[in-house]
Amino acid sequence: MLDLFESFCNCDCSVVKGFLLAAFAVGVFKITTLVLSLGTLLVQAYVLPAVSFAKYGGGKGAWAVITGASDGIGKEYALQLAERGFNIVLVSRTQAKLELVAAEIEGKYKRQTRVVAFDAAEDAPENYAVLAKALEGLPVTILVNNVGQSHAIPVPFLDTSEEEMMRIVTLNNIVTMKITRVVAPVIVANVGKATKLRGLILTMGSFAGLVPSPLLCVYSGSKAFLQNWSTSLAGELKPDGVDVELVISYLVTSAMSKIRRASFTIPNPHRFVASTLRNVGRRVGAQERYATVTPYPAHALMHWGIENSAGVYSKIVNKINFVMHTTIRARALKKAARAAAADTAKKQS
């Protein structure tokens, strides 16, 4: 190593200058791209006005299809798209909950609704037939793939039951693709030069798909699958006038996350969906990814920071996730043990 250094010092001065200039140019280029990407993130997240949904048919009689629409993020998509002038097809498992959301939309926003009771865990052919029937004659221009499932608690892959594994893959991947195969042709038929409208397909991703997540292996893999599937679909449907985007989120207060209190990094569903719809067509935190948006400002900064420091596939990020999920699992198991003990004591008393 010392000999190499001495050789470098004793070589022709022009060679040294050339090397230093090349290193300086590379450094300037790297710093410039980092500054530009961070600047773009901040402008998109905090400065630019909200995207207009008129190009997708807002206020023009167009319809949006929302899956997982009875609660949480899905319900917020339905309410906020109705506010932007869309009639709504609500798709979820429980008929009664769907009817309550439909009544709220019709009463508050004066929009039409249709409800489709669809148990996505079953992946039954008749579900897709019912959905296709409900869409007949509707000028649908938007699909939001929101339905999804995670693990009950962090769990080693070798301890994951086959039932849980298949439920996660079925809901997050199989059902999402099959619903898209039903709805996307309807969207394509309703957009383009004849209508002067564009179509939109949003699919919910996750930081668990962005960053490999030990103890959430199946969920993490299922969300990573959605990244490549959705981005590939974006390339296919762009010529047909349909925008396809994967929406990446960190934690949001919801039944699935089991987090009730919102914070700077953990928004409630209303704030998260508002950020998403505000930034459709922009990347915000997903500066390095095509047809992908990390819309919520705090999540965007986290995404950008990970990508431009250790890297999303780095050993250190993997280790941090492993330690975090190990701690969460330990707490969940202790809580379950206390609940079981209390239940046993109650039965014996």
Residues with a catalytic annotation lie at 219
Longest dimension (CA), the chain: 91
Token pair of 324, please?
């975090």
From CA 54, how far away is CA 60, in angstroms rounded?
A: 8
From CA 118, how far away is CA 96, in angstroms rounded?
A: 12
From CA 215, how far away is CA 159, in angstroms rounded?
A: 10
Cβ–Cβ under 8 Å, residues 269 and 73: yes
Bridge partners (DSSP) of residue 342 are none
From CA 167, how far away is CA 344, in angstroms rounded?
A: 30
Cβ–Cβ under 8 Å, residues 141 and 190: yes
Bridge partners (DSSP) of residue 89 are 65, 114
Question: DSSP code of 201?
Answer: E
What's the sign of the alpha-carbon dihedral 35, 37, 39, 41? negative
Instruction: Give φ, ψ of 211 to 5 degrees.
Output: -115, 120
- Tokens 């949904």, residue? 53
Pairing of strands 292-293, 63-67: unpaired
Report the phi/psi class of residue 39: left, alpha or beta, with left for phi > 0 and alpha for psi in -120 to 50: alpha
- Tokens 């609660």, residue? 71
From CA 105, how far away is CA 53, in angstroms rounded?
A: 18
The C-alpha torsion from 328 through 332 and 338 to 343, rounded to 10°, is: 170
275 is in an annotated binding site: no
Binding positions for substrate are: 206
Binding positions are: 206
